[in-house]
Chains A and B, each alone.
Chain A
């Protein structure tokens, strides 16, 4: 996509947006101006130096409308699998007839919320502010049509996790999906949210997903994100969280799909005593590039952040990790730790890691660590000496490597599902493994 196409698409869509409130128009115009000024990130941009966008830029993605192809029968299967508090968003549209939602929890399409609940949407949408403007975030702000609005009022515990499946089922190649989700958790409330991104067919598309999360005082949100779209998809996503006093956000991200999938987890600890735990795992093979970015902004005292990410790279794939922790001058007594471990499965795979600490307060405990390598020869030998075949030994150790993140992340609820997803991907990875 080039700037010219961008502008044309913007003008075309603008006509259909006459009914939008002026605050939203201002937000979109600001993002448009930002994008026109800066364009796509260049390779000298530090946050993009390991993520080559040329393959993406060459394809004729054009923002526009798209229709659903998937059969109702197939949707039913999805629904049955999910159980309570299941929500289906297809091609950006909330499918109420296939969704079941616990009473008291407010869930609606974002476009509906903009109309019906402006008092909740306006103060939050686009206001997360972590790390300022960024190209793909701006694109999303310009083009999003829909997504999910999820609101939990004060002092409420949502018992069952909200499970959202974002299904993209484009009718032709090079479609685009701009999803914008807004999550507002009221003071003292507790909820869990799982987002899964799936492809309905084998066509390639550009999937842009921005989820903004606002946590009130003492609120708690457990977040899981799974992206397993097909191998032609370009997935650019970010989860941006703003944490108020003593609130807590924990997340787990699993990336297995996409030609290029870049996931950004941003957390702004905006008031005292907030805590976040960002965890994740990605498994790549073939020509995939999977890219996990994190940014934790400690703005106020006594915040805690723990990050734990792992990557397993096979085939010709490439893994990227770029994690930044900023501790501002006000944020004394901060405790911030980050770990990334990368495992290379094949000679042609590679990994690039950039952990970053920027510390402006002195009374802090901060650390980061990176370890990159392959499976331990000794461990493989040990398993083989007990009669386990080499390939199986490798699979067992790789699974153990992956499971450590799940164990540490406290996502027990999803453990079985995650393990089966990991096993599925691992067998693909190891099937391609040479030598």
Chain B
């Protein structure tokens, strides 16, 4: 390793390549015809088109939110391609053998080989490429347990009852500007249903890849865990290096019934833009889980290292008595990245419990904001919350904001929030260096320690990936 920090920056974002593939895209811009085009492409039933159009009309009435700390030039919503899919000969691949070799190669390069025999046993993958799901592995095996794991498009066609019941039930169309937009134009994503009493035997995961230029990705994920079931779901994302910003506005809805538990982990590594802040993904995402039944549990873990701008607040509505919500987050911003992220824990049920652990790291010109809400309504007797938000600053042009809100409306509840902001402790650095470690290694070690509480909540193979990513995204940040 060299001591010249600039040399690290020359190292390219390793996932920044473009797959040379012909694609089938909607015309640029957004109007009702675009939505009809998407719906038709996906051979959706009538109810879906009606839902999309209603969402579109709602969206037209809404304003882009301006309350967050992130700043970006105005987005021209008519200059985005809302649908792009790799060109297919027939209706779509029936099995992996029919998937375009270029696409398979892409996922291999990303470290996600789709051929099942090569997969680490125990992880089923839904691979989403631009606007469509290209493959879902282990479907048959999961079916034996009654688990449905498929692309969202397929779910709309095959399981319309479940979609109609749950779609928009946690994140209503009018929830916010980006959620409304997503509801109108969402292209693909994953759907997952775990039946009563089933513990999902393997990790489920979706790998999102944006490939086409000027394309927005609007995925929709819905996970329903029925009574007494449990599932662990992972999400990963990358995109090619492009000079122009690209919009990613996803919606994720989780529903946990009585005694069910959902663990949702994200390692977000969208292209972050270059050193000067040019290009990169605008990651405007609405993620929310409903702990509907008693003793249900939803746990969000996120490692956010990519994107030019991140705007997301994975939240929990703790409706069932004794339900549990968790949010573990590491957000790293380097160069000109901005992140405004956090969570909402809405305590509605009695004896509900939430934990928030947020670690923000800002390097160079990075801007990091934690924004959170803990709300305990009068009915939520004996609710508990514990929040810890720590920010680490590296470089005198970096910044960190901490904006929590606590609203407690009953006297048996308890909420606790603690936050700190500081730079790396000089004495810790000295101690490590006195034991022979270089400054880079010492910082890397201290930063990993700082994030430990979050990493330990990730599934094993993701934890390793997250640590590596953290190292990569902070490279060159130490002057």
Contacts and interface: CB of A to CB of B under 8 A. Distances in A.
Partners in one complex: yes
Contacts of B404: 354-355, 370
Provide the main secondary structure of the chain B interface.
Answer: strand
B418 A354 contact: no
B401 A374 contact: no
Contacts of B67: 44, 46
B397 A359 contact: no
A347 B67 CA distance: 32
A354 B420 contact: no
B417 A358 contact: no
A135 interface: no
Interface in B374-417: 378, 391, 393-417
B422 interface: yes
A203 B420 CA distance: 46
B413 A373 contact: yes
Which of B391, B403, B405, B414 counts the most chain A CB atoms within 10 A? B405
A208 B408 CA distance: 29
A360 B401 CA distance: 8
B419 interface: yes
Interface residues of A, number: 37
A383 interface: no
Contacts of B417: 353, 355, 368-371
A320 to B, nearest CB: 10
Q: Which of A346, A358, A361, A362 has the most CB of B within 10 A?
A: A362
B421 interface: yes
B408 A344 contact: yes
B468 interface: no
Contacts of B416: 369-373
A373 B414 contact: yes
B408 A351 contact: yes
Nearest to A352: B407
Contact of A329 (B396, B412, B414): B396
B393 A362 contact: yes
Interface in B410-451: 410-423
Which interface class (under 10, 10 to 19, 20 to 34, 35 or more) fits B? 20 to 34
B421 A366 contact: yes
Contact of B406 (A348, A352, A360): A352
A354 B403 contact: yes
Interface of A is mostly: strand
B405 A353 contact: yes
A132 B420 CA distance: 27
Contacts of A349: 411
Given A372-B413, A373-B415, A342 B394 contact: no
Contact of B408 (A342, A345, A362, A366): A342
B415 A370 contact: yes
A347 B421 CA distance: 35
B332 to A, nearest CB: 15
Contacts of A368: 402, 417-419
A367 B420 contact: yes
B405 A364 contact: no
A363 interface: yes
A359 B395 CA distance: 12
Nearest to A348: B378
Contact of B411 (A46, A345, A361): A345
Given A372-B414, A374-B412, A357 B401 contact: yes
A46 B398 CA distance: 24
Given A369-B417, A370-B415, A372-B413, A359 B408 contact: no
Interface string A116-153: 00000000000000000000000000000000000000
Interface in B40-70: 67
A355 B410 contact: no
Contact of B423 (A354, A362, A373): A362
A44 B65 CA distance: 12
A329 B396 CA distance: 7
Nearest to A351: B408
Interface of A: 44, 46, 50, 329, 332, 342, 344-374
9 contacts: A332-B396, A347-B410, A350-B408, A352-B407, A355-B404, A357-B391, A364-B421, A367-B420, A373-B415
Given A370-B415, A370-B416, 18 more contacts: A342-B408, A353-B417, A355-B417, A356-B402, A356-B403, A357-B419, A359-B400, A360-B399, A363-B396, A367-B420, A367-B421, A368-B402, A368-B417, A368-B418, A368-B419, A369-B416, A370-B406, A372-B414
